[in-house]
């Protein structure tokens, strides 16, 4: 029998996609395939695509076309494979296989069938699969960090969002399964575990009959890992018992990623957001009162169909009042197959762009002020990389999540993948600057 082909994976999209990529890599390595980062040397390139918004799709298409032009055998996986399963194989005859979001665990079988000369389409109509702690995984993040998926899919029907169509209904893993994987990661030296799903505050609802995020955080509080961070915490799901779990477990960072999307009740209603206008009834104030040292990050969509200047001013006033530590903003992207695609009063792109610039101009000084407040403090920093030219270390404190927030540029010596005390000496709008404290003893 001949040697097995070499496989490269081109990863696009979010951290949920990244976990799928890591499982595919793990399964291929376990099956004896050699995995290479260099696409030129690989026999096959698996492109794990994103289809969330138009710009993400454009990047995916660009990557696919470039590989096709380079005469590569392309396996298309991920959200775009799920989204455009009817047309992709026709439009990209160079693609040897199409694998849906609920089928990535079949990757070894797919490659074997392709090797036999078959053009494979492996796309379940409704994704139901979720990997667990027994699924092989080959991590692609820096050594100190790992994402841990607690659930997959979503039961909400937000008007702008294609995710339930691409990822299926919510399906949670058991607490025992998540803790087992967290312990595996801790034993590999991981310092920070980031919990992800579509709606982390709804974790467990489908299997336990009610959300069990508080119980999960208590269980992870007993795992020997310094930092546990949550992404996608819907504010209405931050119930008193969840807040208490954050307060009581030292390794659970008081970092709350609240995907609010807007502030005005009219827009939230037309977005079909689960809590509609309740975001204005003191939820943020209650979170800040209970967790005074909480770091609040959020994302907003500007230019949703029907958004008037008055609606947008309401959003600006909301941002000014609450002073979020980190804000991400996107202009509305009309997605075919979602209710928002056919809504009346779609806004011109130039109006959306102008509003986006105004929002970011308002947030910039708020972010800068929050960073200025760190000067003079000694903070724990996870060292993630060393700048090749300057030799400066780059890392993050608990205030910053990877890839979406700022970084800390650090003078001094420290091992990659370790958490060290750093004296913060300077700040700009998004990043901090400091020096490793050698004589510091954590009290």
| Binding-site residues from annotation for [4Fe-4S] cluster | 14, 50, 79, 154, 158, 161
Task: Name the pairing type of β-strands 432-436 and 408-411.
Answer: parallel
What is the strand order of the sheet 255-261 is part of? 255-261, 295-302, 326-331
| CA gap 126, 95 in Å, rounded | 22
Collapsing DSSP to helix, strand or coil, 378 comes out as strand
| CA gap 238, 69 in Å, rounded | 49
Q: DSSP per residue over 264-281, as a string? A: -HHHHHHHT-TTGGGGGT
CA–CA distance from 139 to each of 87, 110, 185, 266 (Å)?
Answer: 32, 21, 10, 43
DSSP-derived secondary structure letter, 308: -
In the chain, DSSP finds a helix count (H) and a strand count (E) of 14, 19
* Secondary structure E strands in 156-302: 171-172, 192-196, 227-230, 255-261, 295-302
Which element (helix H / strand E) includes 396?
strand 393-396
**Residue list, annotated binding site:** 14, 50, 79, 154, 158, 161
Q: Which residue has 């030296």 as its token pair?
A: 189
Query: Could you tell me if 147 and 18 are in contact, meaning their C-beta atoms sit under 8 angstroms apart?
Result: yes
Q: Which residue has 């993050």 as its token pair?
A: 396
Collapsing DSSP to helix, strand or coil, 171 comes out as strand
Number of Cβ atoms within 10 Å of the Cβ of 162:
21
Of 158, 156, 160, 155, give the one whose Cα is nearest residue 343: 160
Of 220, 434, 432, 193, give the one whose Cα is nearest residue 326: 432
* End-to-end CA, the chain: 61
Distance of CA 9 to the CA centre of its chain: 19
Main-chain phi, psi angles of 196, to 5 degrees: -135, 155
Main-chain phi, psi angles of 24, to 5 degrees: -60, -45
């Amino acid at each position: 029998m001949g040697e097995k082909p070499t496989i490269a994976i081109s990863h696009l999209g979010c951290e949920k996609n990244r976990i799928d990529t890591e499982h595919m890599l793990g399964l291929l390595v376990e099956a004896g395939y050699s995995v290479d980062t260099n696409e030129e040397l690989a026999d096959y390139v698996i492109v794990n695509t994103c289809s969330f918004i138009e710009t993400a799709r454009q990047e995916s298409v660009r990557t696919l076309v470039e590989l096709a032009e380079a005469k590569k055998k392309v396996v298309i996986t991920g959200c775009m494979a799920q989204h455009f399963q009817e047309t992709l194989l026709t439009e990209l005859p160079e693609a040897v296989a199409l694998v849906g979001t609920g089928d990535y665990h079949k990757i070894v079988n797919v490659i074997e069938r392709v090797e036999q000369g078959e053009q494979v389409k492996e796309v379940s109509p409704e994704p139901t699969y979720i990997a667990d702690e027994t699924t092989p995984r080959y991590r692609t993040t820096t050594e100190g960090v790992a994402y841990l998926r607690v659930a997959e899919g979503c039961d909400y029907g937000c008007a702008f969002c294609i995710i339930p169509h691409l990822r299926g209904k919510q399906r949670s893993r058991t607490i025992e399964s998540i803790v087992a994987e967290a312990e595996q990661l801790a034993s590999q030296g991981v310092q920070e575990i980031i919990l992800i799903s579509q709606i982390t505050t709804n974790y467990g609802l489908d299997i336990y009959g009610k959300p069990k995020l508080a119980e999960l955080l208590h269980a992870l509080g007993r795992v020997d890992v310094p930092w546990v961070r949550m992404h996608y915490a819907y504010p209405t799901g931050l119930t008193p018992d969840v807040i208490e779990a954050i307060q009581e477990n030292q390794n659970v960072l008081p970092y709350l990623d609240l995907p609010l999307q807007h502030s005005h009740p009219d827009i939230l209603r037309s977005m079909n957001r689960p809590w509609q206008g309740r975001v204005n009834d003191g939820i943020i104030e209650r979170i800040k009162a209970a967790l005074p040292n909480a770091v609040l990050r959020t994302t907003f969509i500007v230019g949703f169909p029907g958004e008037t200047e008055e609606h947008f001013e309401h959003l600006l006033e909301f941002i000014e009042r609450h002073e979020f530590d980190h804000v991400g903003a996107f202009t509305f992207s009309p997605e075919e197959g979602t209710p928002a695609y056919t809504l009346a009063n779609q806004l011109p792109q130039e109006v959306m762009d102008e509003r986006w610039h105004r929002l970011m101009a308002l947030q910039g000084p708020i972010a800068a002020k929050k960073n200025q407040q760190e000067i003079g403090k000694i903070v724990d920093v996870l060292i993630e990389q060393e700048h090749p030219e300057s030799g400066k270390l780059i890392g993050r404190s608990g205030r910053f999540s990877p890839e979406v927030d700022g970084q800390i540029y650090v003078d001094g010596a420290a091992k990659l993948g370790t958490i060290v005390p750093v004296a913060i000496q300077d700040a700009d709008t998004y990043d901090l600057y400091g020096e490793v404290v050698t004589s510091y003893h954590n009290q």
